Amino acid sequence: PLYLVVGCCRMRLPLVNRVLFLSTTMTLWTALRGGAKSRMGRVVTAFQPRTTRRRCANMAEWRDNSRLTPRNPPRGSVRCLASVTGPVYTSEEEEAPIVTLFTKEGCTLCDKVKEVLRQAQQENHVHSLEQIDITDENHQEWFDKYKYDIPVLHINGQYWLKHKLSSVPEVQQALEAVRNGSFTSPVGEPNAAAMERKYNSKKS
């Protein structure tokens, strides 16, 4: 700055000493100013949560890796979408069949299935509905089986159907079969992991 130059010129020192003093002072001032900028930068960065910065890095790597499915992030990465696992509604009847919907956030076909089930519940075809998010870290087994086929439905722990639920009578028929003990799982339960293993064994 100008005031340093003026002050140095007014000093009663030999010219060489004044030049050396001015050079040293300017070097220190530049270093201190750069350090202040660095500290300010760290303050701004500190307002970004560490998990957010890590999420961005993981998501960039995730998108760049075409071998990963859209909702199957690397182990240890930060989850970016909320889990939808949990009860949807619970019947007051203790012996009511329990329907389990295997789903994930943003599954529009799953929403249509839930609409049909809710309508059946309103028409007194009593049951409870819970859903399992196959993309949860602790649901890897379900993800491996159903990742290409959701929505998938179970009744009382038994496979019921996949892809769609067309009408309330379809729900009624299944619930009555469960109540009278005649329900059996139909053929065709999806298992993507087994299908992939079979395909890979043929390739090799």
Confidence of residue 25 (pLDDT cuts 50, 70, 90): confident
Domain residue extents for the chain: 2-46, 86-203
Please write the tens of the pLDDT for every residue from 87-99: 999 999 989 999 9
The per-residue DSSP string of 69-130 comes to -TT-PPTTPPP-S----EEEE--S-TT--EEEEEE-TT-HHHHHHHHHHHHHHHTT---EEE
pLDDT of residue 150: 97
More reliable by pLDDT, 22 or 171? 171
Percent pLDDT > 90 in the chain is: 56
Has domain 86-203 been given CATH number 3.40.640.10?
A: no
Please write the tens of the pLDDT for every residue from 136-164: 999 999 999 999 999 999 999 999 999 99
Provide CB contacts within 8 A for 3, sequence distance 6+. none
Q: What pTM was computed for the model? A: 0.62
Residues 23 and 19: their CA atoms lie apart, in Å, by 6
